[in-house]
Amino acid sequence: MSEPTIAVAGLSFVYPDGTAALHDINLHIHPGERIALLGPNGAGKTTLILHMNGIHLPQQGTVNVSGLPLTRDTVMEIRRRVGVVFQDPDDQLFMPTVWEDVAFGPQNLGLEGAALDARIHTALAAVEVADLADRPPNHLSFGQKRRVAIAGVLAMEPEILVFDEPTSNLDPATRRELSGILRGLDLTQLIVTHDLPYALELCERSVIIDRGRIVADGATRLLLGDGDLLRSHRLELPYGFDTSLVG
């Protein structure tokens, strides 16, 4: 198998108040995979993904991105390689126009002129919002804001994208459109979600985390077909969901 894009080994983390959030996490994500990270509230999902781009540094264990270990000295390069799209796009959009928002990251890397324009055009086209370039982000719908937030991350040309609850607050049509966009991105992806049908739709592999430990890692269809596993970790398929689609 190829070298992992992300390799987490023996990762443990305790918050200053004494809350133990992660316990001996071991996880490999390989190039081209689209993986769902599942688990109940408070399971450690957010703490784990915040290690993947250096917002948290390992207290115990290691995080490597394409062979580069996460340390204080490498954190900026790690953040270039791992793009995180947060649950609330308003946390990422702050410039007067969509164009300026998407340009912000590449400009801070020193990109300018035609190269910068091309980078922005490519990112906006990838999420189908090129027509919104001159619009103020605060005038956009929630779904449009989410696409612009993704474009801003894509403009940094990361090696892996991490999505935190990408379907939250989206109506069914927008949710379906986002699914098409994620399928079209030729990047390794980790999708943190409570939306189990969405995980089944997009991700062949899922990882379940609970109480800071990885409790299952395997084919999404098999994991979601295991009712005892889901119940024991406070995960539920929607009422009326056709269970013949899993198992």
Q: Taking residues 44-73, what's their average pLDDT?
A: 94
Looking at residue 241, its pLDDT comes to 82
CA dihedral 137, 138, 142, 143 (to 10 degrees): -20
Residue 85: band (very low, low, confident or very high) from pLDDT cuts 50, 70, 90: very high
Does 243 score more than 70 pLDDT? no
Residue 1: band (very low, low, confident or very high) from pLDDT cuts 50, 70, 90: low
Residue 247: band (very low, low, confident or very high) from pLDDT cuts 50, 70, 90: low
Structure tokens at 96: 């007067």
Does 185 score more than 60 pLDDT? yes
Predicted TM-score (pTM) of the model is 0.93
The amino acid at residue 130 is A
What are the φ/ψ torsions at residue 167 (nearest 5 degrees)?
Answer: -95, 0
Does 61 score more than 60 pLDDT? yes
Q: Assign residue 113 a region: left if phi > 0, alpha if psi is -120 to 50, beta otherwise?
A: left
Which fold, 6-88+155-235? Rossmann fold (3.40.50)
Mean pLDDT of the chain: 93
In the chain, where are the structural domains located?
6-88+155-235
The amino acid at residue 48 is L
Structure tokens at 233: 């970790």
Looking at residue 189, its pLDDT comes to 97
Looking at residue 242, its pLDDT comes to 77
